[in-house]
Amino acid sequence: MDAIKRAATAAAYLPEPPESITVPGVLDLEQLADLSDIAAEVIRLQKAADGTLDSCRRLLAQLYVYDYTRCLQPVDENKDKDNNDSDEGAPTDNTEGDAMFAAALCAAVRPSRGAMEECWREEDGVGVTSPTPNLAVLTATTGVCLRVLRGVLAASPTLLDGPSATAATSTGLRTAVAVAIATWSDVSTGWSTEATARVCAEILQMHHAALTAEKVLVVELLGGTVKPVFAGTRVPTVTEMGRKAVRVPVTRREVEMDEAGVGGDAVWLRRKGMGEALAVVRFVIAGMEPRAVQENWHLIAPPVLTALDAGDILTKAHACDVLADIITAVDAAFLARTGLGSVFEQAVIPCLHFLPPLTPTNHAARAFSAGVNALVALARRQGVREGGREGMYKALDGVLRDGVFRAVTYVGENVRMMETVVTAAGTLVRELGVRSVRHLSKLVSMCAAPMLSPFVGTHPQLARAATATLVEVVRACWPRVPAHNAEILKAAVFCWMRGGDGQQEEVEVARLRHELRTLMALLERADGDSGWFERARGAVVEREAGLAGLFA
């Protein structure tokens, strides 16, 4: 086998793959090309990364090894003819080889340091960040690996949950497959995509019972995979059992940094493994019953709080996403017994304060959005017990006041960040309902500013987000809206006129104008029988006939 591996490794560096690579009956050829096409694609990916991505070469070597071991399989010619007829087209048994190959595929999809650092790169531009070459190659290579893994598991269905599952489990295959699926099914990690998430969902559906068994989730994933990542770290406000600590020692936190003060190995050590571990926790939560989540709380809550406390900005944002799932999975009574409601809140609130220009725009936007979603989930759950609905409204009002309005003061003309903040305001207004009326004046002014901007045609996404939030404001606070009719109508008119001036796609402009029409329809209903809206509409259309579409 060592000689085969050496030959396969040498073959991985060939400019073109051999023509004989094919494994009939092993892979679903309707969904996946044969191994020669896969090898050609991997070579192309390797060249795209200037030959620096070792995972491409390792994957290609494993493809050759697997194909060669398949070709060496002995064929039993003494089988009864009837058995041959009944088994025609079935894949031959190669459990050990299949298990080794599947484990190698799972190892190949683990994100490398270089690719992860590209996910965490800092950008202050207003446009959408584009994937860098190594990250794009990693994503494409992983797509190949996951499709091949899906084919191998389909061809050998007993690998994970059949009679041969015991041998496979002893080599950690089931854990490896579960970790790979968890890592690439969570699109919030930054390296996963919708395409890889779909393939992971298909694999999970095929082997749901084996991959979501309580022993796998608790012992192998939480205990064996997540816990070692956070070994030696502890949040002082939480006990080892995941309860609120009564006495918290006051110590000075020391943050390790390199000589330049940022980046370097110190930052990598704080990030290393956290993203994958949080993705695994999220996978476990999705596969667990609420009872199991509560029983294993001591393995779930401390890692997430540690990530919120000691992680960098993007790790905190990812932890907020996981925290929202955790809060939704448990009931209000259990959360109250743990006493962690206030601890969670204090850990999440700093995510709302990482703002440009001190924080890169892409990091700040990600953290702000995730933080608001986590605080909304927490307020919903706590509001069931602590003060009823009024307790929830009080918490959400604080997020709107100290999070959204404070952020607007600092982000200024940062288009991307402003879009994130305005969208979060719409979420909070939707939850608060009529109780957001105390902030009506600020909300209208905040939304009207982007709509009145002369650059609406250049950035219609921001104008659409502001219009959508203003729709929520009018819908929730309609009894007091007539006092702001003129300001809202002015913003809508200017936004409609300037929306088509830029070079953006017609789809974005159409979406913006749809929101503007919805806003005008709600404004008309809020006006009631006063007649103001009818007079204003007539005056506007008479002055500019092209605005008739705004009121259609």
Band the pLDDT of 36: cuts 50, 70, 90.
low
The token duo for 147 is 């499709």
In three-state secondary structure terms, 250 is coil
538-544: long-range contacts, CB 8 A cutoff, minimum separation 24 = 540/489, 540/493, 544/497
Q: Is the pLDDT of residue 269 over 70?
A: no
Q: Cα-flanking dihedrals φ and ψ of residue 231, to 5°?
A: -65, 135
**Measuring CA to CA, which residue among 146, 320, 310, 341 is closest to residue 242?**
341
Band the pLDDT of 274: cuts 50, 70, 90.
confident
Q: Quick one: average pLDDT of 341-345?
A: 90
pLDDT at 33: 43
Q: Is the pLDDT of residue 536 over 60?
A: yes
pLDDT at 138: 75
Q: Which residue has the higher pLDDT, 155 or 483?
A: 483
Q: Is the pLDDT of residue 400 over 80?
A: yes
pLDDT at 86: 44
pLDDT at 218: 92
Dist CA 98 CA 205 (whole Å): 20
Q: Is the pLDDT of residue 343 over 60?
A: yes
Percentage with pLDDT > 90 across the chain: 37
Dist CA 222 CA 281 (whole Å): 7
pLDDT at 442: 95
- The position carrying tokens 């309005």 is 405
Assess contact for 242 and 301: CB atoms under 8 A.
yes
Q: pLDDT digit string (tens) for 163-195?
A: 655 554 555 888 999 999 999 998 888 888 898
Q: Is the pLDDT of residue 427 over 90?
A: yes
CA distances from 325 to 19, 91, 224, 259, 264 (A): 48, 40, 21, 38, 32
**Measuring CA to CA, which residue among 517, 536, 515, 436 is closest to residue 481?**
436
Q: Quick one: average pLDDT of 196-222?
A: 91
**Measuring CA to CA, which residue among 139, 149, 135, 66 is closest to residue 106?**
149
Number of H helices, E strands in the chain: 30, 0
The token duo for 100 is 């080794």
Q: By CB neighbour count within 10 A (0-12 exposed, 13-18 middle, 19+ buried), where does 291 fall? A: exposed
The DSSP element (H or E) to which 277 belongs, if any, is helix 274-287
Q: pLDDT digit string (tens) for 37-70?
A: 555 555 565 555 554 445 555 555 556 555 544 5
Band the pLDDT of 458: cuts 50, 70, 90.
confident
pLDDT at 123: 73
The DSSP element (H or E) to which 199 belongs, if any, is helix 194-206
Dist CA 498 CA 489 (whole Å): 14
- Angle between helix 54-71 and 35-48 (nearest 10): 160
Q: Which residue has the higher pLDDT, 403 or 254?
A: 403
Q: Cα-flanking dihedrals φ and ψ of residue 238, to 5°?
A: -130, 140
Band the pLDDT of 392: cuts 50, 70, 90.
confident
Band the pLDDT of 92: cuts 50, 70, 90.
very low
The token duo for 42 is 């991997």
Which 3-state string (H, E, C) describes 68-115? HHHHCCCCCCCCCHHHHHHCCCCCCCCHHHHHHHHHHHHHHCCCCHHH
Domain boundaries, the chain: 2-74+93-122+129-211, 387-552
233-259 burial code (b ≥16 CB/10 A, e <16): ebbebbbeebbbeeeeeeeeeeeeeee
pLDDT at 21: 35
- The position carrying tokens 């500019």 is 544
Q: Cα-flanking dihedrals φ and ψ of residue 250, to 5°?
A: -90, 110
Band the pLDDT of 449: cuts 50, 70, 90.
very high
Assess whether the previous peptide bond of 357 is cis (omega < 30° from 0).
yes
- Angle between helix 415-432 and 361-383 (nearest 10): 10
Q: Is the pLDDT of residue 332 over 60?
A: yes
Assess contact for 354 and 421: CB atoms under 8 A.
no
Q: For the ranges 16-25, 379-388, 504-513, which has the lowest average pLDDT?
A: 16-25
Dist CA 175 CA 42 (whole Å): 26
Enter the DSSP assignment of 92. P
User: Which stretch, 20-29, 76-85, 346-355, 542-551, has highest mean pLDDT?
Assistant: 346-355
Band the pLDDT of 32: cuts 50, 70, 90.
very low
Q: Is the pLDDT of residue 309 over 50?
A: yes
pLDDT at 545: 84
Q: Is the pLDDT of residue 388 over 80?
A: no
The token duo for 14 is 């060939």
Which 3-state string (H, E, C) describes 121-171? CCCCCCCCCCCCHHHHHHHHHHHHHHHHHHHHHHHCCHHHHCCCHHHHHHC
Q: Which residue has the higher pLDDT, 327 or 87?
A: 327
pTM: 0.81
Assess contact for 223 and 230: CB atoms under 8 A.
no
Q: For the ranges 102-116, 244-258, 268-282, which has the lowest average pLDDT?
A: 244-258
CA distances from 9 to 51, 59, 518 (A): 14, 10, 61
Q: Quick one: average pLDDT of 282-289?
A: 93
Q: Mean pLDDT of all residues in the chain?
A: 77
Band the pLDDT of 31: cuts 50, 70, 90.
very low
CA distances from 337 to 139, 308, 316, 522 (A): 42, 21, 25, 44
Residue type for position 184: W
